[in-house]
Structures are given as structure tokens and as C-alpha cells.
Chain A
Amino acid sequence: MKNFEYFEPTTLAEASRLFAQEHAQLLAGGTDLVIGMKAYTETPQSVISLQKIPDLAGITTDADNSITIGTMTKVREVELSKDIQQYHTALAEGASEIGSIQIRNLATIGGNIAHASPAADTVAGLLVADAQVNIIGADDERTVPINELFTGPGQTVLKPGEIITQFHLPSPASGSHYIKHKIREVMDLAFIGVASAVNLQNGVIKDARIGLAAVAPTPIRATEAENLLKGKIPTPELLQQAGEAAAAATSPISDLRCSAEHRKEMVDVLTRRTLQYALDRATR
């Protein structure tokens, strides 16, 4: 590992100022950055740790059941949070799929998202939670919907010096589910990740959200499939149409994990499956 200067700012303003400089990297849990530095794929001159800045970690639930997750919250905490398990099951399930317990005790949700891997395991759950991402820069703050955060593999709309501070999950879904398509039970990367969330009213789908990971240059929402479902009574035929529409929304690549054709086919299958789980949970 190349040497670097290490900073532990105690305010976001100071962190943002340091991070805006060239060859600077933010350190959250370190599970991506430290490995990258060992491999010399990351060679920052300065590393800015966020751990001494107060109030960046933790999960709070408001009276309307909206939930705010601090950027430095450990993935393990997201996985085990009773409120997230109840209101955003797909996100808790996604968190539980990352690495091992040892890694989830280090990794943060902010790091998982800011790293901008199209295959990140928390991203599909955040997409179907319609998460709003709070961002702070040197001069101002802004909020970006999670589906507008990513611009390509490893790329986001974050400008130099901008730091993700919180994820706000405004409206709980009554049922949601995440499936990670993988080979190993743990310590694997997703071939694809699919999350579905639904709200039902008198047996009719009031709204539906479908989040897809690792099937396009960025994580995406399958909005056409979602629109097909809204206002309808769920039937196997309807879920099949939604699965096909979700698959049509993807633009996967072939790589050593699997082929593009397999990914597309499995989006269809897993969209149907996650929707069915979500509906079962919602009606319970």
C-alpha cells in the first residue's frame, strides 16, 4: 500500500473541504478502499476518515414511520434493525447479503452506495424504498433521489467535495423482498439483484416498485413494469407481464460471472418471484 496522509475531521465542512482537494479519498468502513489501496487500484494522497464526525451513524424512525439512515451506519446494523426489517424488508435482506458478518461489521451503507457498484446489495432495497439521498458540499446541501444518483459503473452525480450524509426512506411499503442471484451462500457478488415492494388497497395494487442491480451500467427502477401493476388485482398473468417488462428494461453485459442472456432471463424470473413474496407479505 502506498503511503498517504490521514485526516480525521470532526465537522462535515472540514471533511468536505479536504475531500474537494485532488487525490483525496473518503474512508467510511474501508472494506472497498483499503483493499483497493492494497491492490494499488486506489492510490490516494490523502485519506479522510468520516468516523470522528458526530451523528453520521444510526437509524431513526419518525412518527410517520419514515426512516432516516446515517451514512456511517454499519451494514450489519441495517440488516438487524427491527424497523428496517418491518418497513423495508428488501433493504434488510440486501444488507444481510453483503460479504460476511466480519465485513458487515465494518462496511457502511454510505460506502456501499457511494462506491456506485451496479451490483451493490443495498441499492435495490433503497430503490424500492424510494430513498432520498442527502448530500452536503462545501457550500450547500442538496437531496437527490436514489434513482438519479448513479451515472455509470463507479460513477455518481456527486461533485468534488460532496459527501452523502443520510438516506431518507419516506414511505414504508407493506411488503417487499430482495433476491440476490449468486453461487455461494455468502461472500459472493450478485449476478443480479432484484427487489420488489408493493402496497395493496382492498386487494388492488396501489403502488409497486421494482429495483434492479447488476443488469445495466447503473442500478435501475423498472418503471414500465411498475406502471403495468398499478391499479390491478395481482394475478399470475399480471406478474408474468411485469417480469417481461422488467427484463426488457435491462441492458446487461456478459462477463465471467454469467451471460447477458442469462441475466435478462433471470430478471424476468426473479421479478415475478420477488413480487409474489412482496404480495404475500403485504396481504398478511
Chain B
Amino acid sequence: MARSTTSFGLQATPKHPVSLTVNGDEHDLLIEPRKTLLAVLRDTIGLTGTKEGCSTGDCGACTVIVDGKAVTSCMVLGVTVSGKEITTIEGLASDGELHPIQQAFIDTGGYQCGFCTPGFIMASKVLVDENPDRTEEEFRHALGGNICRCTGYTKILEAVLQAAEEIRTTS
């Protein structure tokens, strides 16, 4: 790894080569170890659908899917996910068709300001795909890591239940 020297004569920490598959596209990047996955997605790749809320893992706004699992991307160093497959809100729709969970949020009005919505959708997407038979109470509990300051959660829960119902009946 080549060490570079900044114009101030300080030694810069070496960047690391990182290969990511984001929404099916491969990205070969050179990134500083301190960059979070969230920063890589938003600032390096330019996918700003994923939001930065609290940046301490408490609010869930930055939720993305890494190798099939929902994670808070603000707590993940970009260098640690090299070789992994990442899905963000931009990657949910396929061939112009929304994922049932996206359509359900629109149908029920499960958003107001929309800032928490990508995180809620990514967290819910894994939940409805892996087990659409969860009860309302189970969905509510499983979404406890996502915070919304607008909706009071009622419409969000309606959206999740609608998507679960649709996935149940079509599979």
C-alpha cells in the first residue's frame, strides 16, 4: 500500500482497495479506513437514498442490506465489507417495478417527511421476505431499531402488513 504525503508534510494513512457490489453494480474503490459504509455509499458512489440520521446506530435511517442482512451502515467501516453484496433503497425496484414493500408505503401513506423511509423500507423488506407470517406485534418489535418522528408509526405498520399479505398470497 502506497503511503502518500499531504501538502502539510503529514503522512496520510494508506487507502485500501475495496470491491463492492452495490445494487448489482461492481465498484472498485480506494478508500480511507475511517470511512463508514454509509459515507462510501453517499459520498463516494453517490447513492444518497440512504440517509444519515443519528450516526450512532440508534435511529435506523441508514439501514442497508449486506449479504441479505439489514445493518445500520453508519456503524460499518467500508473496508470491512469488501467482496460483499449491498442493496440500498435505489436497488429495490426491478425493471421499473417497485418491490411490494415500496408500493405498500405509497398506498398507505407510510411516510411524511420521508427521511426515515429508506431505512424503514430496507429493514421491512428483509422482514417481509424472510417471514411474512409475523404478527403485527412481531413486526412492530422487529422494527424497533427504526425511528420516525412524523407518522406515529401506524401507517408504517399498515404498509408492512400490506406488503407481507401480498408476499404471502403471491408466493
Total number of residue pairs linking A and B with CB closer than 8 Å: 83
* Contact code string A1-24 (vs B, CB < 8 Å = 1, else 0): 111111010000000000000000
Q: Is residue A49 within 8 Å, beta carbon to beta carbon, of the partner chain?
A: yes
Q: In the assembly, what is the distance between CA of A187 and CA of B71, in Å?
A: 14
Contact A186 B145 (CB under 8 A): yes
Q: Which label, helix, strand, loop or mixed, suits the secondary structure of the A interface?
A: loop
Contact B14 A34 (CB under 8 A): no
Q: Is residue B32 within 8 Å, beta carbon to beta carbon, of the partner chain?
A: yes
Q: Which residue in A30, A51, A101 is a CB contact (below 8 Å) of B123?
A: A101
B19 nearest CB across to chain A (Å): 14
Q: In the assembly, what is the distance between CA of A47 and CA of B14, in Å?
A: 13
* Contact code string B111-151 (vs A, CB < 8 Å = 1, else 0): 00000000000010000000000000000011011100000
Q: Which residue in B13, B34, B144 is a CB contact (below 8 Å) of A100?
A: B144
* Contact code string B81-107 (vs A, CB < 8 Å = 1, else 0): 000000000000000000000000000
User: In the complex, which residue of chain A has the Cβ closest to the Cβ of B140?
Assistant: A185
A53 nearest CB across to chain B (Å): 13
Interface size class of B (residues with CB under 8 A): 20 to 34
Q: In the assembly, what is the distance between CA of A3 and CA of B10, in Å?
A: 12
Cβ contacts under 8 Å, B75 to chain A: 30-31, 34-35, 103, 106
Q: Is residue A105 within 8 Å, beta carbon to beta carbon, of the partner chain?
A: yes
Cβ contacts under 8 Å, B123 to chain A: 101-102
Q: Is residue A142 within 8 Å, beta carbon to beta carbon, of the partner chain?
A: no
Cβ contacts under 8 Å, A30 to chain B: 75-77, 80
Q: In the assembly, what is the distance between CA of A102 and CA of B69, in Å?
A: 8
Q: Is residue A136 within 8 Å, beta carbon to beta carbon, of the partner chain?
A: no
* Contact code string B41-83 (vs A, CB < 8 Å = 1, else 0): 0000000000000011110100100000111101111011000
Q: Is residue B16 within 8 Å, beta carbon to beta carbon, of the partner chain?
A: yes
Q: Is residue A214 within 8 Å, beta carbon to beta carbon, of the partner chain?
A: no
Q: Is residue B36 within 8 Å, beta carbon to beta carbon, of the partner chain?
A: yes
User: In the complex, which residue of chain B has the Cβ closest to the Cβ of A35?
Assistant: B56
A89 nearest CB across to chain B (Å): 18
Q: Is residue A26 within 8 Å, beta carbon to beta carbon, of the partner chain?
A: no
Q: Is residue A38 within 8 Å, beta carbon to beta carbon, of the partner chain?
A: yes
Q: In the assembly, what is the distance between CA of A30 and CA of B55, in Å?
A: 13
Q: In the assembly, what is the distance between CA of A251 and CA of B137, in Å?
A: 37
Cβ contacts under 8 Å, B12 to chain A: 3
Q: Is residue A144 within 8 Å, beta carbon to beta carbon, of the partner chain?
A: no
Contact B141 A186 (CB under 8 A): yes
* Interchain residue pairs with CB less than 8 A apart (7): A6-B16, A27-B80, A34-B36, A100-B145, A102-B145, A103-B57, A103-B145
Task: List the 3 closest pairs (A to B, CB-CB), nearest first.
Answer: A100-B145, A186-B144, A6-B33
Q: Given A3-B13, A5-B13, A106-B75, 10 other A-B contacts at CB below 8 A? A: A3-B34, A27-B77, A27-B80, A35-B75, A38-B55, A47-B77, A185-B141, A185-B144, A186-B141, A187-B144
